[in-house]
Structure 1
């Protein structure tokens, strides 16, 4: 279709997610611009509370043979899907938020005398660790996965690009230049990674893939 909106997704979408775009009569091209590699690690001597800021960290910890030893400890987490995965696997949630900055505020205001073990990836943001360090909170970090950039060259014109992480944005820009395309971002930190590349940034109402897709559809249908 000559005037069909063409969208690039920087991660492979679930079939219902992709179908939502197709039902809106969009053309969809999808590639995984990052890859997750789990790491070997030990979880002995973890602190009073556990922190997870991504589903990738949860998935890696669940692979550990000694995961049962830490399921008695309550968790702080970022994101509704991270929370859901923890609860589905027997963890109790003490507090959760949509953004790391919000979680940092909760921890630094109400849990300054407690101790934490933060399960992270190699490209994690500094917001939460810096806040805990500044508040002199007792915390340790265990790196449980690595994010690898897997850039792809997009050799055709597109109207919009869906971005779901700062690393995904970085990977996209390694092989592609952003010009007039509209960039739909899952959240503020992802948008931050694009601020020097383009002014054409729209942030989802909620930090979920589904909300990002709906924001894209709303933009082109209005």
Structure 2
């Protein structure tokens, strides 16, 4: 029996899906997020979200900003935005692809990027390199919650670069297979291991499907 560590709490349905395929599932939350105080005084007409956490952090202000056009990363983020009345103009599977799409098709627009305290520089760097006006508003903080894992682990499900950072504070990867939810997360393992499997889509469901397929082939 293979033991899989999930670095976030899974839904019961997804946990059972792994267990029904013969896996032992260990769950530990390696990060937590918390909304912080922020101001929307300097808001541009187009908003960027790269995570559901950022969306959740601004929902109390959705009446004031729901008339803005939105660009986002991830199908789950897009679904949450649309559910709350936002018009999503464009989306992509990762920050790099979204930044390149904006640079190519929407370079004349002005943007505000809602992000967390720990955010990758990929998107801002690409937009600024292409002279696209961008400001950032930090709306939540990410807190690392390292755990020492004593159980022998065969595979790890990683959902963010922050979770990788947190995991490595108390543990080593050794020969463990690392399943990453997207290329941005996978990039954080560069030079740390070559045992990296990336899901085709940046969703938890796709990552678990990839994990099952890897061990059952």
TM-score of the pair, normalised by structure 2: 0.97
Residue of structure 1 in register with 2:195 after alignment: 200
Q: Which runs of 4+ in 1 moved over 4 A?
A: none
Counterparts of residues 2-81 of structure 1 (less than 5 Å): 4-63=1-60, 66-81=61-76
Residue of structure 1 in register with 2:184 after alignment: 189
RMSD: 1.0
User: For 2:94 and 2:68, how far apart are their aligned partners in 1?
Assistant: 22
Candidates 62, 87, 106, aligned match of 2:101: 106
String of CA shifts for 1:38-68, please: whole Å, max 9, x gaps: 11112234111011010000000113xx331
User: For 2:161 and 2:204, how far apart are their aligned partners in 1?
Assistant: 14
Please tell me whether residue 129 in structure 1 is matched to residue 124 in structure 2: yes
Which segments of 5 or more consecutive residues in structure 2 lack a partner in the other structure? none
User: For 1:34 and 1:22, how far apart are their aligned partners in 2?
Assistant: 24
Residue of structure 1 in register with 2:210 after alignment: 215
Residue of structure 1 in register with 2:86 after alignment: 91
Aligned length: 217
1:178 is displaced (CA, Å) by 0.8
Closer, same or farther in 2 for the Cα pair 1:194/1:45, shift >3 Å?
Answer: closer
Which segments of 5 or more consecutive residues in structure 1 lack a partner in the other structure? none
SS across alignment from 2:197: strand
User: For 1:205 and 1:95, how far apart are their aligned partners in 2?
Assistant: 19
Mean CA deviation greater in 37-46 or 209-218: 37-46
